[in-house]
């Protein structure tokens, strides 16, 4: 048993296998697409001349950082459910160590 699995069992976290199966199926059956918002943010970063002189690894890291900072988020019910579960687990762990 892995460390994460052991920790999840110790904390009383139970996996919702149906939810995981639904998320996996949604990802595997979705058609590929291009996020125009991300693409425009990426292009805006590389249009700046000062960014062209940087090392490619730095360019990629900074462009990703720019995307994460500027891109809007689409909150689906599955993501909201996942965030609630994570927050609940964190709260229980914090109160237990208080």
Segment 38-68, tens digit of pLDDT: 999 999 999 999 998 999 999 999 999 999 8
Distance CA 33, CA 39 (A): 12
84 or 51: which leads in pLDDT? 51
Q: How many helices (H) and strands (E) does the chain have?
A: 6, 0
- The chain-wide mean pLDDT, for the chain, equals 79
Tell me how far CA of residue 57 lies from CA of 37, 38, 60, in angstroms.
Answer: 22, 18, 5
Domain ranges of the chain: 35-98
pLDDT at 6: 54
> What pLDDT, on the 0 to 100 scale, is given for residue 57?
93
Q: What is the pTM of this model?
A: 0.49
Tokens of 72: 């809007």
Residue 8 has pLDDT above 70, yes or no: no
Q: Give the C-alpha distances (Å, rounded to integers) separating 38 from 46, 83, 89.
A: 13, 23, 32
pLDDT at 73: 81
């Amino acid at each position: 048993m892995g460390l994460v699995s052991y920790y999840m069992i110790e904390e009383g976290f139970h996996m919702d296998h149906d939810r995981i199966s639904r998320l996996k199926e949604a990802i595997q059956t979705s058609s590929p697409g291009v996020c125009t918002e991300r693409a425009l943010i990426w292009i805006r970063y590389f249009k700046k001349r000062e960014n062209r002189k940087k090392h490619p690894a730095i360019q990629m890291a900074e462009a990703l950082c720019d995307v994460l900072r500027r891109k809007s988020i689409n909150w689906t019910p599955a993501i909201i459910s996942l965030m609630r579960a994570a927050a609940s687990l964190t709260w229980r762990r914090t109160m237990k160590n208080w």
